[in-house]
Structure 1
Amino acid sequence: MATTKKKTTAKKAPSKFDIITMYMEYVLEHEMYPKSIYKFCKANKITETDFYAHFGNIDGLKKEIWIILFDKTMEVAHANEAYDQFTSREKMLTFFYSFFEMLTLNRSYILFALSEHDRALKNMEQLKGLRKQIKSFASELIAEDNEDKQFKITKNPTSLFSEGAWIQFLFLLKFWMDDASAGFEKTDVAIEKSVNTIFDVFDNTPLTNILDLGKFLWKERTM
């Protein structure tokens, strides 16, 4: 009598995004980071080989989450057909609005990740890759603006602008973490005022918006 062999379907290896999703869900469900890659993989029924195909360690995974958030934000921005015609100011506003929408969608994880250690600098370690991306993005914007300026003396230093954009992001990140307003509307206001202010500084017309931003921050601090 003829025998038939059962067909076996090979299990599809998890993608980088699959593993990141597993990791974020693990952290939120257990309210702690996995103590080892072995335990994380066992809990999610994947092999360590699956994990190491995409990440060298947990710290690398944590950094990659922020880079993916940046990449997804830029995808959303460029999906707007009018984006390429935006001014640098409008592109920066679009980026911050979209990025903080991404953070809000993942707020529980983000708040946990940034509260892991009592030392703020230790928590900033995971943002190294994001810092590089944001500074590069800001440098591109200021370089575009410089192309339209005839005299070298009126051109703005890209390194100073890019570092300012990073500091601005850290300020907005802390503001967003502390924001208890409905829909995080105060964060939206802070984004608008801070972006307009930094661009006004580089356009040499800062006074009105700097005072406006200062009043807003003073009001929030006293409240």
Structure 2
Amino acid sequence: MNNHTPLTRDFIFTQYSDYLLNHGDRPKNVYLFAKENNFEEKDFYHFFSGFEHVEKEILNHFFQKSVALVTGQEERVSTAKEQLLNLYFVFFENLSMNRSIVLKILGDNKLQSLKILETLRGSFIDFTNSLDFENWEMAEKASEKIRNLNTKSRQAAMWLHLISVLEFWKMDQSPDFEKTDIFIEKTIDTGLEFLDNEPLRKAIDLGKFLWKEKFKIR
């Protein structure tokens, strides 16, 4: 990077991702990372507080790009369910295009993964809050208890659903991750019924699918 080109978030994302994948670990410190990429250490801090912050924002970046694309198609999407499905498919397509860096950032430690996903969680909740929940056909078939979930409980439930899809995608070994697409469609199709006390009774088809996949893709 020459001295006349302004430093950008995207440049740091690209260089950091390359370093992480090539070396298998984070750079030793920001000074060395900046020096290797021909910019001043102080300029790094205009964008990020450290490498963990970069990793959180990389995942959030993929999500925000997905939201922007889905939002641009809103006139062709009539229901909240379709908007959510659209977002999931676009987001996981983005993740699949960048699978190596996403898996590296998430790692194998689930607690660490949840920490890295904090920023994404905020963006995801903002998106779901923009959906017209009252008119969801997903909610119409659900029990009264599920329909009456307060906003905070609904946010937590939907976030756990996204985490479950992410975990499935991480293990998926099918071509083009087509089984993840099926998983997304089946779970969103089942909707909030899956949050009830008897998910297998209310979603036998989904239960069979999950049971089979449990032994196929690990």
1:110 correspondence with 2:83: no
Partner of 1:182: 175
The unaligned stretches of length 5 or more in structure 2 are none
Match of 2:79 among 68, 73, 87: 87
Partner of 1:196: 189
The answer to whether the 8 A contact 1:142-1:158 is kept is: no
- Aligned partners of 1:221, 1:112: CA distance in 2, in Å? 23
Partner of 2:210: 217
TM-fit CA distance, 1:142: 4.9
1:165 correspondence with 2:155: no
Read off the aligned partner of 1:119 and give its amino acid letter. Answer: N
Partner of 1:123: 113
Read off the aligned partner of 2:45 and give its amino acid letter. Answer: Y
Match of 1:66 among 50, 54, 59: 59
Partner of 1:141: 131
| Superposed CA offset, 1:36-69 (max 9, x none) | 0011111111111221111111121111112211
The answer to whether the 8 A contact 1:73-1:95 is kept is: yes
Which structure has the higher relative contact order (CA within 8 Å, separation 6+)?
Answer: 2
TM-score (norm 2): 0.84
- Aligned partners of 1:79, 1:43: CA distance in 2, in Å? 38
The answer to whether the 8 A contact 2:21-2:100 is kept is: yes
1:16 correspondence with 2:9: yes
Which stretch shows the higher mean deviation, 52-61 or 176-185?
A: 52-61
TM-fit CA distance, 1:107: 0.3
TM-fit CA distance, 1:201: 5.5
Percentage identity across aligned positions?
A: 34
Read off the aligned partner of 1:13 and give its amino acid letter. Answer: P
Q: 1:187 to 1:135 in 2, by over 3 A?
A: same
Q: Determine helix, strand or coil for the equivalent of 1:74.
A: helix
Q: 1:165 to 1:139 in 2, by over 3 A?
A: same
TM-fit CA distance, 1:81: 5.0
The answer to whether the 8 A contact 2:85-2:185 is kept is: yes
| Superposed CA offset, 1:2-30 (max 9, x none) | xxxxxxx9612211111111111111121
Number of equivalences: 207
1:54 correspondence with 2:44: no
The answer to whether the 8 A contact 1:139-1:161 is kept is: no
The answer to whether the 8 A contact 2:27-2:33 is kept is: yes
- Aligned partners of 1:127, 1:20: CA distance in 2, in Å? 16
Q: 1:159 to 1:121 in 2, by over 3 A?
A: same
Partner of 1:3: none
The unaligned stretches of length 5 or more in structure 1 are 1-8
TM-fit CA distance, 1:123: 2.5
TM-score (norm 1): 0.82
- Aligned partners of 1:91, 1:160: CA distance in 2, in Å? 21
CA RMSD of aligned residues (A): 2.7
- Aligned partners of 1:138, 1:180: CA distance in 2, in Å? 29
Read off the aligned partner of 1:60 and give its amino acid letter. Answer: H
The answer to whether the 8 A contact 1:135-1:162 is kept is: yes
**Based on CA coordinates, which of the two structures has the bigger radius of gyration?**
1
